[in-house]
Amino acid sequence: MVELERVQQLLAMASPKEIEEITPEKHLISDLEMDSFGLMEVVMAFEDEFGVEIPDRDLRLLDTVEDVLIYLEDKTGTQHMPARVF
């Protein structure tokens, strides 16, 4: 299962933005201000966390947070869980 909250936490490690600002429609580079080093860091974290391999050629598919969720769902064969709203 791919949880939005966990993806947000991993992205927050490589972005100067607060976790609350990391929403599905945000672009990794322009909105979350990730550079190539941060992107590679978060890709390695996704690989470790979700047990997948993300080839370099697939990085072009990861434009938004939603793209990351969809990609990880496809790789893991699961659906993402939305963040809990209280």
pLDDT of residue 80: 56
CATH number at 28 reads 1.10.1200.10
Q: Please indicate, yes or no, if residue 29 is contained in any of the structural domains.
A: yes
Which pLDDT score is estimated for 85? 47
Average pLDDT over residues 63-86: 79
- 85, part of any domain: no
Residue 71 reports pLDDT greater than 50: yes
Asked if 59 contacts 39 with a C-beta cutoff of 8 angstroms, the reply is yes
For residue 2, list its beta bridge partners.
80
Tell me the whole-structure pTM to 2 decimals: 0.85
Q: Is the pLDDT of residue 86 over 50?
A: no
Structural domain of 67: 2-79
Q: Confirm whether 46 is domain-assigned.
A: yes
Q: Is residue 36 part of a domain?
A: yes
The C-alpha atoms of residue 47 and residue 13 are separated, in whole angstroms, by: 15
- Domain presence at residue 57: yes
Q: Inform me whether the pLDDT recorded for 25 exceeds 80.
A: yes
pLDDT over 70, % of the chain: 91
Number of domains in the chain: 1
**Nearest CA among 54, 6, 57, 35 for reference residue 14:** 35
Task: Determine what percent of the chain is predicted with pLDDT higher than 90.
Answer: 84
